A and B are shown apart, each in its own frame.
Chain A
Amino acid sequence: MKLEYFQMIDRVVSFDRDAAHLVATSTIPAVSPIFEGHFPGHPLMPGVLLIETMAQTSGYLLLGLNNFTAMPFLTKVTSANLRKFIAPETPIDMQASLVHDGSGYAVTKAKISTGGKAVCDAEIMFKILPFPEELGAQMRANARSLGMDVKEP
Chain B
Amino acid sequence: MSSTFDKVADIIAETADIDRASITPESHAIEDLGIDSLAFLDIAFAIDKEFGIKLPLEKWTQEVNEGKAPAENYFVMKNLCARIDELVAAKKA
Contact = CB atoms under 8 A, between A and B. Distances in A.
Interface of A: 75-76, 100-105, 107, 125, 127
Interface stretch (B3-11, B23-31, B42-50, B77-85): B42-50
Contact of A104 (B38, B42, B49, B58): B58
Contacts of B59: 103
A26 to B, nearest CB: 29
Contacts of B48: 100, 102
Given A102-B55, A104-B61, A127-B41, 10 more contacts: A75-B38, A75-B41, A100-B48, A100-B49, A102-B45, A102-B48, A102-B54, A103-B44, A103-B54, A125-B45
Residue with the greatest number of chain B CB neighbours at <10 A, chosen from A75, A102, A127: A102
Interface of B: 38, 41-42, 44-45, 48-49, 54-59, 61
Residue with the greatest number of chain B CB neighbours at <10 A, chosen from A76, A101, A103, A125: A103
A101 B44 CA distance: 11
Contacts of B61: 104
Nearest to A126: B41
A71 B55 CA distance: 20
Contacts of A76: 38, 41-42
24 contacts: A75-B38, A75-B41, A76-B38, A76-B41, A100-B45, A101-B54, A102-B41, A102-B44, A102-B45, A102-B54, A103-B44, A103-B54, A103-B56, A103-B57, A103-B58, A104-B57, A104-B58, A104-B61, A105-B41, A105-B44, A105-B45, A105-B57, A107-B45, A125-B42
Nearest to A127: B41
